[in-house]
Amino acid sequence: MSIADPAALSFRTAVEADADELVVLVESAYRGDASRAGWTTEADYLDGQRTDVQGVRQIIDGSDGILIVVERAGGLVACCHLEHRGDHAYFGMFAVRPGLQGAGLGKEILAEAERRAREEWDAKEMRMTVVNVREELIAYYVRRGYRRTGELSPFPYGDERFGVPLRDDLAFELLVKPL
């Protein structure tokens, strides 16, 4: 069974006891030297934290969405956050273990998130924001049917909860996909 085989994956809603392990996963996928083992690293653009236990617990406790834990053979391999926002869903906090990136796992998880948003919330569209300088990551989403809108929102410079920027031209670009 390949890692990209959805039968090999299990999906469940995160609980409070998952918070510490989820922070480790997200940080390993995006920040520091460990993230360089995968292709989703932000280490060249951002330093510091990507999230923290308090932020993860707020998402878990929130009433408008779910934090999905993805496991394979009983081990945590990925996560993503879905938030119901009226006629659309917001997709975020997507992390796959760096050593497992590039094998098709992300594509399967994204498809499951889209299915849930469509079937459980009747969402007509999935939206996400991506750091504008992440061209390879944006191209990944474009290949999966997302459209660049050109709509930018400011990066929260000075708020270290989102990291410490290593350049001064960061913003978030909105990507959308009809469901």
Opening angle at CA 143, ends 133 and 108, nearest 5: 105
Over residues 15-59, the pLDDT tens digits come to 999 999 999 999 999 887 878 887 888 888 898 888 999 999 999
Over residues 83-123, the pLDDT tens digits come to 999 999 999 999 999 999 988 999 999 999 999 999 999 99
Q: What Å distances lie between residue 178 and 34, 118, 124, 140, 147, CA to CA?
A: 34, 10, 6, 16, 9
Opening angle at CA 58, ends 55 and 60, nearest 5: 110
Place of tokens 């480790």: 24
pLDDT of residue 162: 83
Does the pLDDT value for residue 72 go beyond 70? yes
Q: What is the pTM of this model?
A: 0.90
Asked whether the beta carbons of 84 and 92 are under 8 A apart, the reply is no
Residues 143-171 have a mean pLDDT of 94
Does the pLDDT value for residue 170 go beyond 70? yes
Over residues 132-141, the pLDDT tens digits come to 999 999 999 9
pLDDT of residue 52: 92
Q: Looking at domain 6-127, what is its CATH homologous superfamily?
A: Gcn5-related N-acetyltransferase (GNAT) (3.40.630.30)
Average predicted confidence (pLDDT) for the chain: 92
Domain spans in the chain, listed from the N-terminal domain onward: 6-127
Please tell me whether residue 74 adopts helix, strand or coil conformation.
coil
pLDDT of residue 5: 53
